[in-house]
Amino acid sequence: MPKIFDIELVFTLIPQLLKYLPVTIELTVVAMIVGLLLGLLLAIIKIKKTPVLYQVSVVFISFMRGTPILVQLYLSYAGIPLILKYYNYYHETSYNVNSIPAIVYVLIALSLNEAAYLSEIIRAALLSVDKGQTEAAQSLGMTYGQILRRIILPEAFVVALPTLGNALIGLMKGTSLAFVCSVVEITAQSRILAGNNLRFFESYCALALIYWMMTILIERAVALLERRFDIDFRSLRKRKGDVLVD
């Protein structure tokens, strides 16, 4: 009688899945960086209420948060080649749609989705910074860019860090949907291995262990950053206090 559950197979499959972990990490890191940059831009636009751009950002965020990431991946995978074909037709260009790697479509969809969610996190963090500090900086003649870079962003980052950590974990797990765009990462590979040996449960158990370990690593990294920045800001406040006392 065959084994109902083969625990040894689970640990045998893990090294085979780890070969595709770099793809998952690449998707997570690139989408997070682009999402942070776009999210910061959207947050500033919403805070400043920039005409036209504000309305566009509101619609964009509403759409990205109101539709499933799976649908957005489908739209990216099917829509971008369609747009390029129309562009080639009307501008007499010859961009090769088939030469675009499938991972590009996934990165675009994940980055835009992450930007929409991170924009609200970043906006709340930016608004949490004491306005007295920005007013004092303005009185010293600092530009908004300097104030943002030297005062607002460092403090807002500390406030947003725990939520950003959770967003990173969610993004990492969201990369498991990349297989719909024909990108083979650890989830797609687990499905391939399961199809080969018909041991679906063991394959998915191995996959779950990898995601679990990755989540623990991210949580530990965020916790270390929280402690480090808390110490930095406490020492900074102490120095400010000493200056005031003197």
For residue 12, being part of any structural domain is answered with: yes
For residue 2, being part of any structural domain is answered with: no
Q: Which residue has the tokens 């947003």?
A: 160
- How far separated are the first and last CA of the chain, in Å rounded? 82
Query: What are the structure tokens assigned to 48, written together?
Result: 């400043």
Residues 219/169, Cβ–Cβ less than 8 Å: yes
Q: Average of pLDDT values for 106-125? A: 95
For residue 219, being part of any structural domain is answered with: yes
For residue 216, being part of any structural domain is answered with: yes
For residue 1, being part of any structural domain is answered with: no
Domain count, the chain: 1
Q: What is the pLDDT of residues 223-245, one digit of tens each?
A: 998 888 776 666 555 554 443 33
Backbone torsion region of residue 108, taken as left when φ is above 0, otherwise alpha when ψ lies between -120 and 50, otherwise beta: alpha
Rounded distance between C-alpha atoms, residue 53 and residue 34, angstroms = 19
Q: What is the pLDDT of residues 77-109, one digit of tens each?
A: 999 999 998 888 888 888 888 888 999 999 999
- Sequence-separated (6 or more) residues with CB below 8 Å from residue 112: 35, 38, 64, 72
SS3 182: coil
**Helices (runs of H) and strands (runs of E) counted in the chain:** 10, 0
Nearest to 155 by CA among 119, 120, 131: 131
* Higher-confidence position of 202 and 240: 202
Rounded distance between C-alpha atoms, residue 164 and residue 37, angstroms = 13
Q: What is the pLDDT of residues 130-181, one digit of tens each?
A: 887 777 877 877 887 788 888 888 888 888 999 999 999 999 999 999 999 9
Distances (CA, A) of 20 to 17, 85, 117, 119, 176: 6, 32, 27, 30, 12
For residue 194, being part of any structural domain is answered with: yes
For residue 227, being part of any structural domain is answered with: yes
Q: Which residue has the tokens 């770099």?
A: 22
Residues 59/136, Cβ–Cβ less than 8 Å: no
What's the pLDDT at 231?
A: 63
pTM confidence score: 0.87
Distance of CA 84 to the CA centre of its chain: 26
Query: What are the structure tokens assigned to 184, written together?
Result: 């083979």
CB atoms within 10 A of CB 119: 26
Residues 148/133, Cβ–Cβ less than 8 Å: no
Domain span at 143: 7-245
* CATH at residue 183: 1.10.3720.10
Query: What are the structure tokens assigned to 243, written together?
Result: 């200056």
- Sequence-separated (6 or more) residues with CB below 8 Å from residue 133: 151, 155
For residue 94, being part of any structural domain is answered with: yes
* Higher-confidence position of 140 and 185: 185
- Kindly indicate the confidence band of residue 246, based on its pLDDT and cuts at 50, 70 and 90: very low
CB atoms within 10 A of CB 228: 11
